[in-house]
Amino acid sequence: DTAVSQTPKYLVTQMGNDKSIKCEQNLGHDTMYWYKQDSKKFLKIMFSYNNKELIINETVPNRFSPKSPDKAHLNLHINSLELGDSAVYFCASSQGGARGWNEQFFGPGTRLTVL
Amino acid sequence: QKEVEQDPGPLSVPEGAIVSLNCTYSNSAFQYFMWYRQYSRKGPELLMYTYSSGNKEDGRFTAQVDKSSKYISLFIRDSQPSDSATYLCAMIYRSSNTGKLIFGQGTTLQVKP
């Protein structure tokens, strides 16, 4: 299946822990994104990479660190997890996303719960 | 004030009804306008997009953009229970060189059989 995939789908962890979420796309796209969706369904961009180069870095705590080992992968590492980090995190990809608009394809999401 | 405002609902309608979903925005620099549909526990998927004022139709769905009023709408005709989902409007600035989407909060729609 051609798609954007994320692992894990669910993540339950204690405050203060460090965790990672992985994203892979096999669509051949050159741009990947991380979004956070809060409990009110508000979806907000966090980061974007184009050809492994960081092009969007929103006002996100530096506890969040994205890493793109290649064009097909974009991982998100979160240090010292806090209660407010509980949300659904979506990965997305597009082709040629650096200018104008190109359709973004979203993954199924990772539901993070911090206890 | 958010850049894009969308009534979160929930909106409940009987099957067969015409549904109207709306977003307003404050910055006239937005150029591209999209509607995404998100089923429960799934990722958003693109439903329609447009970049000019006027109407765009695709089956039972019509997207409408009024740039002078800074207002966009999505109409669903003959609504079906399978249309029950959250609908998110999204926009991109004319000058964007990052592809950054600005989303509305999403409207939750329930179509009752």
pLDDT per residue of chain A (115 residues) written in tens, 0 to 9? 669 999 999 999 999 999 999 999 999 999 999 999 999 889 999 999 888 888 888 888 999 999 999 999 999 999 999 999 999 999 999 987 555 678 899 999 999 999 9
Distance CA A91, CA A35 (A): 6
How many CB atoms are located within 10 Å of the residue B10 CB?
Answer: 11
Helix (H, G, I), strand (E, B) or coil at A83: helix
Of B38, B92, B98, the CB nearest to A98: B98
Question: Is the CB of residue B77 less than 8 Å away from at least one CB of chain A?
Answer: no
Closest residue of chain B to A39, computed from CA coordinates: B105
Return the higher-pLDDT residue of B18 and A101.
B18
- Residue B100, pLDDT score: 85
Closest residue of chain B to A40, computed from CA coordinates: B105
Question: Is the CB of residue B86 less than 8 Å away from at least one CB of chain A?
Answer: yes
- Residue A84, pLDDT score: 94
Residue by residue, DSSP assigns B23-64 as EEES-TTEEEEEEEEE-TTS--EEEEEESSSEEEEETTEEEE
Q: What are phi and psi of A84, to 5 degrees?
A: -70, -10
Closest residue of chain B to A49, computed from CA coordinates: B98
